[in-house]
Chain A
Amino acid sequence: MIKVEGLYYSYSNDDNFAVKDVSFEVAEGEIFGFLGPSGAGKSTTQGILTGLLQLQKGNASVAGYDIKNISRKMFNKIGMSFEQSNVYSKMTAKENLSFYSKLFDVETRDPIELINLVGLGGKENIKTGEFSKGMKHRLTFARSMINNPSMWFLDEPTTGLDPAIAADIKDIIKEHNNKGVTVFLTTHNMFIADELCDRVAFIVDGVIKLIDSPKILKLQYGKKLVEVEYVQDGNVKKETFSTIMQKDKDLLNQIIADKEILTMHTKEATLEEIFIKVTGRGLV
């Protein structure tokens, strides 16, 4: 459904790349997670794939369309939920969706149905200028489904939402995926990524560090993490070490030899911890 090869992008049109040599494929029906810290190049990649940013270098195709010269028809098949909500503040929720639906050539969904689906039922006739940030974000998300897309781009669909609503959004994504929709999901939320994604890519500083399924990653790292509490200079420190990475094993040996150990136990790695271990970077 998506095929990307050697993608580069620079906002300043020089060697200062926001995205460097990015390559990956997303199969039809898959949920593909794009994970990385802020500024890693996630939205940039998504921008190129949706034609919002001009393809500068590399090859990309989406839903069978070449991104080098995009046919406007491609957008009948694509849905895009923006990181920053962007709806007309002078129009009501319902007007926003009705207007948008008329821009497509394909059958579109009922605005009210979508508004109810994202928990905005009863608010359809309020101007979105009066909406809270989270409400606007949900409307932006709802709008991305209006043309029944088979390829669905979601840029941080759950950011800024309370956990209950975020869980609802997660369920909606899952449901659509069950019906065959391919999803490209950018998120900071590792729990959602873990639960939803068939495969994830870790991206840092514009470079993909790893692509694999959360399941395999966990098998690999499995219970191979050791959490150690020890005393250093009179303070209690807590650290997690991998038992398969040589660097961690050496460090662990040193600590056991030199420090006073308080507690020590193995634990299941979370996706976030795996990310940190693999990229050496936090997710924030």
Chain B
Amino acid sequence: MLKRIWTIFIRDLTVNMREFMTLYMIIIPLVLAVGINFLSPSINDTSVNLALIENENPEQAAYFDDFANVELFSDEQKVEDRVMSRDSVAGILPKDNGYYIMTQGNEPESVLEYAKLLNVLYEADVQLEDARSEIIEFGRTVPPLKKMLVNMLLLLISMLAGMLIAMNILEEKVDQTVSAINVTPTSRSAFILGKSLTGMAVALFSSIACLLITGFYNVNLGQAALVVFSSTILSLLIGFIQGLNSDDVMEAAGSVKLMFLPMAGSIAGYEFVTGNWQIFFYWSPFYWAYKANDMILSKSGTWPQLILFIGIILAICGAVYALLAPRIARKLQ
């Protein structure tokens, strides 16, 4: 059984790497990942930069240094010059009895919030030991846009995996090779698992590669892989059924693309719809995958939460499977 699953998987992969269309599907997420890096600064550049006046308050500078990149300047004018430069820096300057935050105006809100927060925390004399978790939580060292793009990319990858399956099923259908496999000791489940493994392996590989390319190597990759795994199951099911129902490559790719709509809807729902209305997206496994990914990418998730989300995704996939499995089995006759 395992030998045959592997044989089918390797065959698919070999053929996929050779054909332009399928190779493109495997490569494109990696290209997009590189693109995201250009569009949005990498995570490591985005730790918050603060500009202070040297020796004005060494204790404060030391405190901030635990949580941000602190740059010291000789006077207020130098701090201002620094703040006006291209990247995001917030200046913290003395005024009256307290401090005020000087910005250029184009810094991400998170930088500003963070600077404010640090300032408040310092004044309240909160120590690192007391407050670590909260500070990281508020820190949002990852630009939200980048996190969103990478999250979308992860969903796109699972959709592409479905398309890949559709292509591979279509190949068997056009060449009528399923009947040849049916007169070998290969069971139907070995065939389906072999085919699925191709999509799954490509999805997992691309996802991890994209996370690494975009600089998310500090996130829990195991958790990320789990979410990719569960959300890809649905794409694979759809890939199977569309491959069996289509007669040519464009039709197969096109019909899998239909998944794009609920996917985009779920993302928009999660990002832009307010709390109470989110319930309207609960049916969509993409919503839960996006939510889970968001948690992982911002390193704020707990295992119980994650397991709950994955459980929901799997339950929805299970329902879809129950619906589609008889049709898939019939079509493979």
Query: Provided the pairs A80-B183, A90-B19 are in contact, do residues A103 and B7 lie with their beta carbons within 8 angstroms?
Result: yes
Binds A, one of B59-67, B141-149, B184-192, B256-264: B184-192
Give the contacting residue for B15; candidates A52, A80, A88; CB below 8 A.
A88
CA separation between A147 and B186, bound complex, in Å? 13
Given contacts A75-B183, A103-B185, 5 further A-B contacts (CB under 8 A): A75-B184, A80-B183, A86-B175, A90-B19, A91-B15
Q: Could you give, for residues 1-43 of chain B, a 1 whenever the CB lies within 8 Å of some chain A CB and a 0 otherwise?
A: 0011001000100110011000000000000000000000000
Residues from chain A with Cβ under 8 Å of B3 in the complex: 102
Could you write out 19 A-B pairs with CB less than 8 Å apart? A52-B179, A52-B333, A72-B187, A73-B185, A75-B183, A75-B184, A80-B180, A87-B177, A88-B171, A88-B175, A90-B18, A91-B11, A99-B7, A102-B3, A102-B4, A103-B7, A103-B186, A143-B180, A147-B184
Residues from chain B with Cβ under 8 Å of A82 in the complex: 176, 179-180
Does B175 contact A89, Cβ atoms closer than 8 Å? yes
Cβ of B182 under 8 Å from chain A: yes
Cβ of B181 under 8 Å from chain A: yes
Chain A residues with CB under 8 Å of chain B are 50-54, 72-73, 75-76, 78, 80, 82, 84, 86-91, 95, 99-100, 102-105, 140, 143, 147
Residues from chain A with Cβ under 8 Å of B18 in the complex: 90
Does A103 contact B177, Cβ atoms closer than 8 Å? no
9 nearest CB pairs, A to B: A86-B176, A103-B184, A102-B7, A72-B185, A80-B183, A75-B185, A103-B186, A90-B15, A99-B11
Interface bin, chain B: 20 to 34
Does A76 contact B175, Cβ atoms closer than 8 Å? no
Does A100 contact B19, Cβ atoms closer than 8 Å? no
Residues from chain A with Cβ under 8 Å of B14 in the complex: 95
Residue of B nearest to A128 (CB): B175
Give chain B nearest CB distance to A146 CB in angstroms. Answer: 9
Give chain B nearest CB distance to A96 CB in angstroms. Answer: 9
Q: Could you give, for residues 61-97 of chain B, a 1 whenever the CB lies within 8 Å of some chain A CB and a 0 otherwise?
A: 0000000000000000000000000000000000000
Query: Provided the pairs A100-B180, A102-B7 are in contact, do residues A87 and B175 lie with their beta carbons within 8 angstroms?
Result: yes
Residues from chain B with Cβ under 8 Å of A87 in the complex: 175, 177, 180
Does B182 contact A103, Cβ atoms closer than 8 Å? no
Residues from chain A with Cβ under 8 Å of B7 in the complex: 99, 102-103
Residues from chain A with Cβ under 8 Å of B181 in the complex: 103
Most buried by A among B4, B14, B18, B177: B177
Does B15 contact A104, Cβ atoms closer than 8 Å? no
Residues from chain B with Cβ under 8 Å of A86 in the complex: 175-177, 179-180
Give chain A nearest CB distance to B296 CB in angstroms. Answer: 37
CA separation between A171 and B171, bound complex, in Å? 34
Residue of A nearest to B11 (CB): A99
